[in-house]
Amino acid sequence: MYREILTRLGEDPKRDGLVRTPERVEKSMAFLTKGYQEDPAKILRGALFDVDYDEMVIVKDIEMFSLCEHHMLPFIGKVHVAYIPNGKVIGLSKIPRLVEVFARRLQVQERLTRQIADTIQEAINPQGVGVVIEARHLCMMMRGIEKQHSSTVTSAMVGCFQKKETRSEFLSLVRGANNGNAGL
Which of 93, 100, 61, 98 shows the shortest CA–CA distance to 77? Answer: 61
pLDDT at 43 over 80: yes
Q: What is the pLDDT of residue 184?
A: 39
Does the active-site annotation cover 149? no
Q: Which domain holds residue 50?
A: 32-175
Query: Does some domain include residue 22?
Result: no
Closest CA to 69 of 41, 101, 113, 104: 104
Q: Indicate if 139 belongs to the active site.
A: yes
Quick check: is 15 in a domain? Answer: no
Note whether residue 40 is domain-resident: yes
Candidate list 80, 100, 107, 109, residue with the active-site label: 109
Give 138's contacts (C-beta < 8 A, 6+ positions apart). 68, 73, 74, 75, 76
Query: Global pTM?
Result: 0.92
Residue 183 in domain: no
Q: Is residue 16 part of a domain?
A: no
Is 142 part of any domain? yes
User: Residue 39 maps to which CATH number?
Assistant: 3.30.1130.10
Active-site choice (63, 69, 110, 122): 69
127 a catalytic residue: no
* Start-end of H helices in 72-108: 94-103
Instruction: Report the number of distinct structural domains present in the chain.
Output: 1
Helices first, then strands: H and E counts in the chain:
7, 7
Mean pLDDT of 165-171: 97
Domain annotation covers residue 27:
no
Tens digit of each residue's pLDDT (9 = 90 or more) over 81-140 = 999 999 999 999 999 999 999 999 999 999 999 999 999 999 999 999 999 999 999 999
68 as an active site residue: the answer is yes
In whole angstroms, give the CA distance from residue 131 to residue 63: 14
Is the residue at 165 inside a domain? Answer: yes
Least confident of 34-48, 56-70, 148-162, 170-184: 170-184
